[in-house]
Structure 1
């Protein structure tokens, strides 16, 4: 202990910063040398998960008494995870006001309240130093007038409440350099229309939960897009061209997704799960940069359309097929006649093939055999089954008897 105590304050604070805040504070009892060191910590995290009532009381008293005594000029991150209505909203606001006053760079607040008493955090929206903001739970987004978040680059909103239909739009409008946006709505939200027109945005994750009437995505610098909405079958949507997009994850139940697909054809990695990707499949889709395709067969029941997608992806190297675990909602693939031609990617670029939750139905077997018998450059083929649904020995026997086009392919069964 004496050797550690001989270190400089700066070095000791760096060591304490690597510890959980609760443990770092406990070092104050070691000696007078350690008594106040924790008050210089630039990263603070308080989490009452699994706390008893008495422990929550002690945490509240500690924050009330000691936060005002904290000495760090800059707080790099402040994380507050409170899972009980035991904490008063007025106290939480005071704690956050303190953090904001110390040139706060990263703030994460998760607040659960069974009484559905949301907390307003309007004090946050004029923090010039804030770079990362993450809010979750019983928090109301109510953006006042004349506020600005000039440094905010990352914004994450998970199942929060919005004061009115325009509050989220107002929040986005005061973030001129926003790069990473993640929004998870819930069925209590009523937002009507949303426009994600942010020129600086590079990553966008949306879980819409079927609560919007209309949305617009116009972010030409976007490199990553994840769009999920399995609760609504139709939308009025407009998605602009995204020439920089490199990775897309689409899981929707819309009756027409042509507008989405035509905007993401520049991707290198694509995960697609949509029941609409069928009759509305466009003639102008061409994924000339696509290298990794992950396809959900539960929503994509027509094998001939699956082959069309492969034909439109001439440089595909990795093909990953998967099915949902809930068998109550899985229908058989439509009858399939093996096509007379083979997609270019299977002949010249496909290296890795995998199938997760393979159930061994005749149509599935035909598709798997078709790929194995027509991909001469295949290096690895991994088939994962459910033991209770298809005997593994039978599955191995069926697929192993296929005439593999690749003499070096390693066939793996999980």
Structure 2
């Protein structure tokens, strides 16, 4: 007997966890000692996006035959990536039932089917006492029954899934008493949800993605314990929003087309770090605790937005100006210097970082203005591509500009 085969079953199972499930199953051909070891694995992952017709059929037959025989008393995670019509809803339903019977802690399903057959989830999923993490993506229908109880669920990710009606999501959330992390990415097409309600007292992280083509008319958010909030809202038509106060919010990421942003940002004035891209008029907002502000180049000069944000942030220590992921630069408005110098430039700003600097007159004027008035600035880092602006000319131009802080260090990358 070789030395590896002489190891205990527990140790061999830990070794098999280091390789994909498919590889672990294939070790069964080595000898009778290895034949059924994979059936003790607590982590199972099957399928992939590029699965051929024949591979999908083999996988379906394999799971139908072997999954009910799995021997591990507890399954830590069960992941399915199924992108083929050969995977029937009733088969997937059965596999999930089997996994749940093993005190399943994490369920992760990505499912695409043509024609669409989204009803794949068993009813007992909604009453699992062991489930801690639930991730669903694609052609999956959430038809939440009246009897719902997920007492252990802490993380819920719903990406492009279907909802039976406007009440479906909140019915599910209302029965997750310790939920901490929620991600909801609405579908661009085929989703009929018009009102999005997220009322979860325990929630600490919330990410909402509302695509351009989604016909959402209202969202209601009640998350008093929230620490991180991310909203990507690309609907440019008017839609109502009721967002209750978030007194413990630390970080917010806002990429929003909505012209009325007060319903959103008015509840987030205690935030300490804010990343924002918005065409809304922000004048009048006050961020009492904001220390780190990142503004997207898309809108940094739109309606003099940067001035509005600086005036609203009395304690600001760090200012980053960059292009957010997936955004493209647009023509900038002229830089209108404020009639009075924002308080943060006089008393608190210590760091300026400008990424993808092009040397356009509007950009140069902003940097020169900040250097001229920021009394406590320690570093100003300017990052550019040689093709955008000649480095020597940029360095010379900014290095010779007046600086309120005698200790400020200019860094060019």
Query: How high is the TM-score relative to the length of structure 2?
Result: 0.91
1:117 aligns with 2:126: no
1:350 corresponds to: 349
1:32 corresponds to: 32
Candidates 254, 259, 276, aligned match of 1:255? 259
The residue matched to 2:380 in structure 1 has which SS? strand
Compute the displacement of 1:358 (Å): 2.3
C-alpha offsets along residues 96-133 of structure 1, whole Å, 9 cap, x if unaligned?
Answer: 11111111110000011232332331432122211110
1:211 corresponds to: 215
1:330 corresponds to: 330
1:236 corresponds to: 240
Compute the displacement of 1:312 (Å): 2.7
1:362 corresponds to: 361
Q: 1:378 to 1:191 in 2, by over 3 A?
A: same
Q: 1:252 to 1:304 in 2, by over 3 A?
A: closer
Compute the displacement of 1:394 (Å): 3.4
Compute the displacement of 1:148 (Å): 1.8
The residue matched to 1:215 in structure 2 has which SS? strand
5 Å-filtered alignment, 1:7-406, equals: 7-123=7-123, 124-187=125-188, 188-209=190-211, 210-278=214-282, 281-282=283-284, 285-302=285-302, 304-323=304-323, 330-337=330-337, 339=338, 341-406=340-405
C-alpha offsets along residues 193-234 of structure 1, whole Å, 9 cap, x if unaligned?
Answer: 222111111111111224321111111111111111122332
Alpha-carbon distance in 2 for matches of 1:169, 1:155: 13
The residue matched to 2:16 in structure 1 has which SS? helix
Q: Is the 8 A contact 2:273 2:292 kept in 1?
A: yes
Alpha-carbon distance in 1 for matches of 2:117, 2:210: 23
Q: 1:119 to 1:396 in 2, by over 3 A?
A: farther
Q: Is the 8 A contact 1:324 1:330 kept in 2?
A: no
Alpha-carbon distance in 1 for matches of 2:51, 2:327: 39
Compute the displacement of 1:347 (Å): 3.7
Q: Is the 8 A contact 2:274 2:292 kept in 1?
A: yes
Compute the displacement of 1:302 (Å): 4.4
Compute the displacement of 1:36 (Å): 1.6
Where does the alignment leave 5 or more consecutive residues of structure 2 unmatched? Answer: none
Alpha-carbon distance in 2 for matches of 1:324, 1:32: 55
C-alpha offsets along residues 49-84 of structure 1, whole Å, 9 cap, x if unaligned?
Answer: 333332222222221221111101111110101122
Q: Is the 8 A contact 1:75 1:105 kept in 2?
A: yes
Alpha-carbon distance in 2 for matches of 1:319, 1:306: 10
Alpha-carbon distance in 1 for matches of 2:145, 2:105: 21
Alpha-carbon distance in 2 for matches of 1:41, 1:327: 43
Answer with 298-307 or 227-236: which moved more: 298-307
Alpha-carbon distance in 2 for matches of 1:340, 1:145: 59
Alpha-carbon distance in 1 for matches of 2:325, 2:102: 48
Compute the displacement of 1:327 (Å): 9.0
Alpha-carbon distance in 2 for matches of 1:192, 1:303: 31
2:410 corresponds to: 411
Q: Is the 8 A contact 1:324 1:357 kept in 2?
A: no
Aligned residues between the structures: 409
The residue matched to 1:358 in structure 2 has which SS? coil
Q: 1:412 to 1:263 in 2, by over 3 A?
A: same
Query: How high is the TM-score relative to the length of structure 1?
Result: 0.91
Alpha-carbon distance in 1 for matches of 2:7, 2:407: 58
Alpha-carbon distance in 1 for matches of 2:44, 2:65: 15
C-alpha offsets along residues 317-346 of structure 1, whole Å, 9 cap, x if unaligned?
Answer: 221112468898712223423x45433333
The residue matched to 1:4 in structure 2 has which SS? coil
Answer with 225-234 or 1-10: which moved more: 1-10
Where does the alignment leave 5 or more consecutive residues of structure 1 unmatched? Answer: none
